[in-house]
Each structure stands twice: as structure tokens, then as C-alpha cells.
Amino acid sequence: MVRFTQLHQTFAAETEDVDLSAPMNDALRDELVVGMDCHAVCVFRNSAPVEDAHHLAFGRGFGPLMRQKMQQTVSGRGIRLSTDELVDVGNLDEDGNIHAVDDPRRAFHKGNLLWHSDVTFDAVRATYSILAAQQVPPGGADTEFADMRAAYDALDDTQKDRIEGLSAEHSIWYSRILGGMEAPSAAIKATRPPAVHRLVQVNPRTGRKSLSLASHASHIAGWPVADGRRLLDELTAHATRPEFVFRHKWRVGDVVMWDNQQTMHRGTPFDDTRHPRDMRRVTVLESGEAS
């Protein structure tokens, strides 16, 4: 039995009971899926940084892993990590140096400071993201999470009815430009076309509804852009009210797993031109139908 300690009133829990270096069996996987359906964010504490091979194997236990080439696309440069199944979320370049001030990957990462769920800009969505802290800067560079189930539940019936049938269009380029990145060329944009997803998602195992938003969401499908953006802004302000938010303070060795279909998250600023931050993510994709 994995014992979880709840970290927030409605979601987020931590445990020291899972050894990520041990192969995962089906019983543990099923137990963690139930745990994730309950808590939506799980913090696994480890006394030392988790090895990439263990991190990848743990992620694969939950489904196919996303491969990510976007950082190479925007920078025209190589990757630091051994495989593109590991998303490099820190501020180090392929030589292990802190990103230069004008490195396009730095501007690309700034988009992570906006509330989002991972990969909503693709038709095939991410289920879990699993982020491992290898090196943490002074001051921490915390990550915040918002419980999108509690946020949905707190809407009144009129608001729930209004959004039930709506969908939003999501684009990585929309959130990156919002985060301050220069607009990419049409050729680069074409490497990642937008995707459309419903605003209300239902957990297939629990039947529980969540709000599905993200800084990638540019407008409501079929609505005038300004009206859709206003609605998305209102819903985001609601969903990220302090009572729905948990803030994780990283320690080296922490692995945080979150359900992208039940939560949003964002990074918080730190002095990223001075201090190294080495964070590596594996991203599990849903294997069923796109929505």
C-alpha cells in the first residue's frame, strides 16, 4: 500500500513509499492511477536525483511517452539529454551552460510561467507529466498547481450550462508569443498546428468533471475571438484563485507527477541567467481517441 499525505484541502499528496528505481508492476501502476484520480498531483520524495533510465521506465508504465523536438526547432541546436522522450525544462543548453540571454529556448521556456496544462496544443492529449528535479536554484523556483475539478465544481449551474458544449482552440505558438517569444516563421508554426478540445472534460474512470483551460487556448471555437478570450480569461481567473492552488517547493530528487486533464500548473520566476535549474520531464500520452 502506498501511503499518501495530503498537501492541500482538495488535491495534491506526497509519498516516500514508491521506489522509482524498481520496476513497476501492474498492481502498483493501478494503485498509482487510483491515487492520481484522487489527488491529481503526487509528489514522490527521493533522497537523490532520479536516474533518467528509471524516470523513463516509470513513465512508460503509464502509457506511450511524448517525443519533443520543439526546442531543437526553435533554436536550431542539439539537445543536452540522451533522448527526446525527456523534455528539458531547465535553463541549460546542450553544453550544460546556462542559456544565453538571447537564446530562443529561454524565451520559449518563459511560456511555462503562464498557467497551462501540457500538450493541449496537440490533438492527442497528455495524461500525466512526471517532472524530476536534478538541480534546484537558490530560492527554489517553485511550481504552482491548480485543481481544475474543484474549480469546475465551484462554478454555478448557469456557468456550467454555458460552457458544457464549448471547445477552445489551443496552439503552442499562441502561448509562446504571449510569454514573450518572437513570432516564429510560418514554416516553424506549421510544425505544430493547433488543436481543439472541450472546455469540460470528464475523467473516464471516476466520471468527475474538470475545467480544461491553458495559456495555449487562444479562443472559443465558433465564437468571435474577443468574446472567447474574455470567457477564457474569466474562467482562468476563477480556476486559479488561491483556494484552488497548491505550490510545490522543490528539493533535489523530488519527482512530481500531475494529471494534465485535472490540473493546470505554472513555473515561478527565478534568476535564470545566473543559477542553473535542471528539470527533466516525461510526458505520458493518452492512447485512446482524441477529444
**How many CB atoms are closer than 10 A to CB 278?**
20
Instruction: Tell whether residue 50 is a contact of ligand OGA (CB under 6 A).
Output: no
Instruction: Tell whether residue 111 is a contact of ligand OGA (CB under 6 A).
Output: no
Q: Using DSSP, state whether 163 is helix, strand or coil.
A: helix
Question: Taking the complex as a whole, how short is the minimal distance between the CB of residue 133 and ligand OGA, in angstroms?
Answer: 9
| DSSP secondary structure letter of residue 244 | G
| Binding partner at 279 among ligand OGA, Mn ion, none, C-beta below 5 to 8 Å by kind | ligand OGA
φ, ψ of residue 196 to 5 degrees: the values are: -115, 130
Cβ distance to ligand OGA smaller for residue 8 or 209: 8
Number of residues that bind Mn ion (CB under 5 A): 1
Pair type for strands 41-44 and 13-15:
parallel
Binding to ligand OGA by CB under 6 A, coded x per residue (else -) over 113-152, reads -----x----------x-x-----------x---------
Q: Which of 224, 208, 187 is nearest to 261 (CA)?
A: 208
Instruction: Tell whether residue 147 is a contact of Mn ion (CB under 5 A).
Output: no
Question: Taking the complex as a whole, how short is the minimal distance between the CB of residue 279 and ligand OGA, in angstroms?
Answer: 5
Pair type for strands 126-135 and 255-259:
antiparallel
Instruction: Tell whether residue 254 is a contact of Mn ion (CB under 5 A).
Output: no
| Binding partner at 236 among ligand OGA, Mn ion, none, C-beta below 5 to 8 Å by kind | none
| Binding partner at 89 among ligand OGA, Mn ion, none, C-beta below 5 to 8 Å by kind | ligand OGA
- DSSP of 210-231, one letter per residue? EE---TTEEEETTS-HHHHHHH
Instruction: Tell whether residue 118 is a contact of Mn ion (CB under 5 A).
Output: yes
| Binding partner at 281 among ligand OGA, Mn ion, none, C-beta below 5 to 8 Å by kind | ligand OGA
CB 201 within 8 Å of CB 214: no
As to burial, measured by CB atoms within 10 angstroms (0-12 exposed, 13-18 middle, 19+ buried), residue 4 is middle
Instruction: Tell whether residue 201 is a contact of ligand OGA (CB under 6 A).
Output: no
Instruction: Tell whether residue 88 is a contact of Mn ion (CB under 5 A).
Output: no
CB 228 within 8 Å of CB 11: no
Rule CB under 6 A: which of 251-280 touch ligand OGA?
Answer: 265, 267, 279
| Binding partner at 91 among Mn ion, ligand OGA, none, C-beta below 5 to 8 Å by kind | none
